[in-house]
Structure 1
């Protein structure tokens, strides 16, 4: 099986591992918007998840990417697993001790109630301890096992969320023992499966323990720029919700965060596509680095992502009003629908950036990834601070799109100087421009003209979809056949 075919096989499985769980998670959005008291409560929950993302990055401090880098080095393979496991175990235990000791201060700084933090701290800790076991599965190409465990995680989370929010409160004999706050119940429902999944993947912690101090220092040095890049990414992804809460008038802030956060989740299709691709290609980058055709392969991967992503973007824009009805129970959340295409384009560009990032990962120049991400984070803060008081959550959507555009362009320009990868820039730009133009015309033009949900609108969407797929398929027959062929 060719390397490109093998990559897409594993990426497809990782895609299922990402898509199916997150589809279930997305369905929880409908549960939360239906059972939480109002948009304010959903906004508060969205803000807490923003803090979770930031802490997840801090506690893994680039160790996952460092693991892939050194695990593929024959000199360090045996020690890389135990060293990274012990490193994360020690730092996570320290975090839990400090966080619970200072939970009141943490609550005061974040404006998040302490009873939420009790569960959130445990969720963060359990998820962090599972990072390297999951990375170990990916490094061993155990994509199916990875997929099944990830799916199991969300099935349990979804089931428990329904139990805690819908069923148990109706049982008088049990209801008196439960917290009355539905947001706290939701975090309990997330905490239990995080612990159970850790128990399922915990086996690597019982391998022969061997901590190599010199190797750990090298991994820290390699991972430090990845940590900075991760924090910058967390700022790009989540800090806009925190800034919305701080910069909008107090009486509407949490409600606006809730509306924005709910419509932001409608970008799940492109988010899943980009995430699945990243999970699939990261181990591949390192395993193929010594292949004499690696540079050509990297170029093909990037174009393949753009080809598939350009089609996925437009198809999702056509179907987004259907997704809206499925995921958002309350029409009050539909107010922010105009931001969805901006977020979808942002994640398409972020996916392109991920494929372009190969140049600094395989050349051990991860500091450049940190520089690019920090530039994006600074732009995120500047745009949000300047525009939120004037145009509200639209500023956050504009910032997200602008930041990932900037990061993609900078990575391409810098990459040309450090690693000669023969990208087909002409066709990549053509497909991006064509897809984005058609998506904008459909959503901001035909959608208003024909009416949301009308038969004529979907007929137009179908014709435009056939046109887009036809153009791309005609120009990229060979590439698509290489991905789809059996051998």
Structure 2
């Protein structure tokens, strides 16, 4: 149980940066949905969907590769760090330059309005800076410097949020004479209303630059090392991870690219396809609470799993970790899904966004299975069979594309959510079955399946039975949530006590 407590404590530290940072960022959603119409917000949602794919290309699996090779006996970690960082430096320079040269054609391809190709330029620079910061951050995780990791992440996010508020809230209010009219001459020099949603990307760019500056000590330890022979095993291990990551991005973000392409005209009366993308993207944000737990867990778990791989009782440890991770995520799923009406009204400031709330429970459950998949994927990373991850990811991508093709014309963005859930469920089940053959772990699959089935049943009941009275409806939802927590406590408490005694 001590190793689980260690992982939990590191997850908590990483979670501070992840949760606090994401919450700060998420507080911008009411700002965006108040300042921008759904069609304008659709530009941000769509462009960041492409950014997700390019982030994978820019880092091409080198973070996990760095962890794997750094934990091998006899490895010179400083030399490994320099080799990997050299690769990313060269590749990022080439990729960023390519995007800068193709800014105008790419803007046309992405339906970005004429005169706004600078959005692409800013995004290209963001991608390059973030790629250069990836391995220094991985080094901090490897060296268990979770506090420094969290501090740098929080500083970057705080600056990003501050700049968003400055350009999107303060500057327009000053120029309208609502706040501090004496600052109008100064603000007029800094603020251009024509940039519009571009300030979202510009703020991100400045924050990414600050991140790289705060990693100066890690960057000083870098020495340029371009020797192809030692790099071959790194690339051989990494390239399946890149394809796996690309397939993962297909599953995670392709729906926001395909939705405007495959949505029939006037499917939503009086709304454009970009409006539908904006609504879906804003409601997708409500699944952030599940994503927070998954992201914090991944930061701590990846180096932890590699470090524990040589321990005799590692399979039992991995099984215990999956169990408590899944149960914690089930609580989040039930709590948010049953109270999504309140979350929606709090964060989505225009009524047009609220019509998409039906997708939130589906996306929460989908992200839960994604977290389960990340837990289960330990087997092919520890056995150096990363190509299995590629196969699973590609299978999920094919399923995602096929289901979106079939469901978007019929169900709109609800079809996107269902496709996401089906994909992540399939990936988790396939990874579990393959793992039983190659790296057996005694996961309590039946028990966890019953808990998830019960959680989904409660959520379905809460959505199916909707009292018209506001107070009765909220009491009903609160009662279902508390009932699930009580059942979880009564049934699992004895097992917690037994595990703690070990």
TM-score by length of 2: 0.92
Q: For 2:343 and 2:473, how far apart are their aligned partners in 1?
A: 16
Contact between 2:291 and 2:367, CA under 8 Å: does it hold in 1? yes
Q: CA deviation at 1:94?
A: 1.0
SS at match of 2:74: coil
2:86 maps to what in 1?
86
Q: For 1:481 and 1:158, how far apart are their aligned partners in 2?
A: 42
Shift of the 450–196 alpha-carbon distance from structure 1 to 2, 3 Å rule, reads: same
Q: Relative to structure 2, which stretch is displaced further, 103-112 or 44-53?
A: 103-112
Q: CA deviation at 1:473?
A: 2.3
Q: For 2:144 and 2:242, how far apart are their aligned partners in 1?
A: 25
Contact between 1:341 and 1:440, CA under 8 Å: does it hold in 2? no
Uncovered stretches (5+) of structure 1, i.e. residues with no partner: none
Shift of the 145–483 alpha-carbon distance from structure 1 to 2, 3 Å rule, reads: farther
SS at match of 2:410: helix
SS at match of 2:200: helix
Q: 1:200 aligns with which of 210, 214, 232?
A: 214
Contact between 1:306 and 1:431, CA under 8 Å: does it hold in 2? no
Q: For 2:200 and 2:258, how far apart are their aligned partners in 1?
A: 24
The answer to whether residue 249 in structure 2 is matched with residue 230 in structure 1 is no
Q: 1:187 aligns with which of 201, 207, 215?
A: 201
The answer to whether residue 464 in structure 2 is matched with residue 449 in structure 1 is no
Uncovered stretches (5+) of structure 2, i.e. residues with no partner: 176-183, 266-270
SS at match of 2:339: helix
Matched residues, number: 481
1:332 maps to what in 2?
352
Q: Relative to structure 2, which stretch is displaced further, 88-97 or 470-479?
A: 470-479
2:179 maps to what in 1?
none
Q: For 2:31 and 2:482, how far apart are their aligned partners in 1?
A: 35
Q: CA deviation at 1:429?
A: 1.1
SS at match of 1:132: helix
Q: How does 1:35-50 map to 2 (within 5 A)?
A: 35-36=35-36, 38-50=37-49
Q: For 1:372 and 1:44, how far apart are their aligned partners in 2?
A: 31
1:70 maps to what in 2?
69
The answer to whether residue 479 in structure 2 is matched with residue 463 in structure 1 is yes
Q: Relative to structure 2, which stretch is displaced further, 209-218 or 227-236?
A: 209-218
The answer to whether residue 455 in structure 2 is matched with residue 435 in structure 1 is yes
Q: For 2:219 and 2:491, how far apart are their aligned partners in 1?
A: 49
Q: For 1:462 and 1:437, how far apart are their aligned partners in 2?
A: 15
Q: For 1:204 and 1:145, how far apart are their aligned partners in 2?
A: 11
Shift of the 84–483 alpha-carbon distance from structure 1 to 2, 3 Å rule, reads: farther
Q: How does 1:285-300 map to 2 (within 5 A)?
A: 285-300=305-320
Q: For 2:59 and 2:355, how far apart are their aligned partners in 1?
A: 36
TM-score by length of 1: 0.94
The answer to whether residue 280 in structure 2 is matched with residue 271 in structure 1 is no
SS at match of 2:434: helix
Q: CA deviation at 1:175?
A: 2.5
The root-mean-square deviation of aligned C-alpha atoms, in Å, is 1.9
1:418 maps to what in 2?
438
> Residue by residue, what CA displacement relative to the aligned partner does 1:214-256 show, whole Å, maximum 9, x if unpaired?
3322111111111011101111111111111212256611000
Shift of the 479–223 alpha-carbon distance from structure 1 to 2, 3 Å rule, reads: farther
Q: For 2:436 and 2:16, how far apart are their aligned partners in 1?
A: 33
